[in-house]
Amino acid sequence: MPVERCPTGVASVDRLLGGGLEPDGLTEIYGEGGSGKTLLCLQVATRVALSDRWVFYIDTEGVSVDRLESIAAGRIDQVLRRMLLSTPKDLAEQSTAVAKACALAREGRRPVGLIVVDSATFYYRLSLSGGAEDEGRQALGFELADLLAAALRAQVPVIFTNQVWRNQRDGTLEPLGGSFVNHAAKTILRFDRLPGNLRRVVLVKHRSIGEGAAEFRITPTGLEG
């Protein structure tokens, strides 16, 4: 039986994904700063919360409620009633927040519609420069495994965002964490910056849909197009 997809509400992204996020695996979004990853997360989260399902939102970037407010368009109270927001301050707090969200999703006592980790690799990146690479890699590996198990058990879509580094050999932007992060994700989207408010989304990996690309715009109320 085909799985029920969770629309993001961004037409170009939903078209590429054949309707939306799949609930039985992890979706990774990577791309350079300002490409729209956080806006997409906030938009899907708002949509899911307004449909009266819970959203577990793990935010390492300090997303302001102002940004959520402009997307929620007058319904911020309703959105916040269904959002459990964690703001971990280091790698260990992030691991705890992920474990808690996964446990609650698996427990199934409330309808959970989405788990977001934005960004999954901010503290991991810090661990690389702080000489704690093994610790960072291990923590990230456990989190992704936990998220995957929760997605499968509770049939909850999970989005995690990832930062990029520039490969000096050919100048391309690569997601952090290498193959072990990319293997954990069933679906991978890359966001590219184009001039002005224009952005491109590229479907890099999907189990049943071929590669593709589309464009959208950044607007004051979120991503459009």
Give residues in contact with ligand GTP (CB under 6 A): 31, 33-39, 61, 67, 70, 163, 218, 220
- Main-chain dihedrals φ then ψ at residue 54, nearest 5 degrees: -80, 145
Which option in Mg ion, ligand GTP, none does residue 89 bind, with CB closer than 5 to 8 A by kind?
Answer: none
The CB-side HSE value for 116 (13 A sphere, CA atoms) comes to: 31
Does 43 sit near Mg ion (CB under 5 A)? Answer: no
Structure token digits, residue 29: 């979004």
CB of 37 to ligand GTP, least distance (A): 3
SS3 199: strand
CB of 33 to ligand GTP, least distance (A): 3
CB of 56 to Mg ion, least distance (A): 17
- Scanning 38-46, 75-83, 100-108, 167-175 for contacts with Mg ion by CB under 5 A, the matching segment is 38-46
Q: Pairing mode, if any, of strands 212-219 and 198-205?
A: antiparallel
Which option in ligand GTP, Mg ion, none does residue 39 bind, with CB closer than 5 to 8 A by kind?
Answer: ligand GTP
Q: Pairing mode, if any, of strands 212-219 and 83-86?
A: unpaired
* Rounded CA separation 68/2 (Å): 32
Those residues with Cβ within 8 angstroms of residue 167's Cβ, 6 or more apart along the chain or in another chain: 173, 174
Q: Which of the 8 DSSP states describes residue 225?
A: -
DSSP annotation string for 160-179: EEE-EEE-TTT--EEETTHH
Q: Measured from the CB atom, is 210 or 220 closer to ligand GTP?
A: 220
CB of 198 to ligand GTP, least distance (A): 11
Q: Measured from the CB atom, is 154 or 164 closer to Mg ion?
A: 164
Does 38 sit near Mg ion (CB under 5 A)? Answer: yes
* Rounded CA separation 173/192 (Å): 10
Sign of CA dihedral 48, 27, 16, 65: positive
- Scanning 15-23, 34-42, 46-54, 201-209 for contacts with Mg ion by CB under 5 A, the matching segment is 34-42
Which option in Mg ion, ligand GTP, none does residue 195 bind, with CB closer than 5 to 8 A by kind?
Answer: none
- Scanning 17-25, 36-44, 162-170, 204-212 for contacts with Mg ion by CB under 5 A, the matching segment is 36-44
Which option in ligand GTP, Mg ion, none does residue 67 bind, with CB closer than 5 to 8 A by kind?
Answer: ligand GTP
Residues that bind Mg ion (CB under 5 A): 37-38
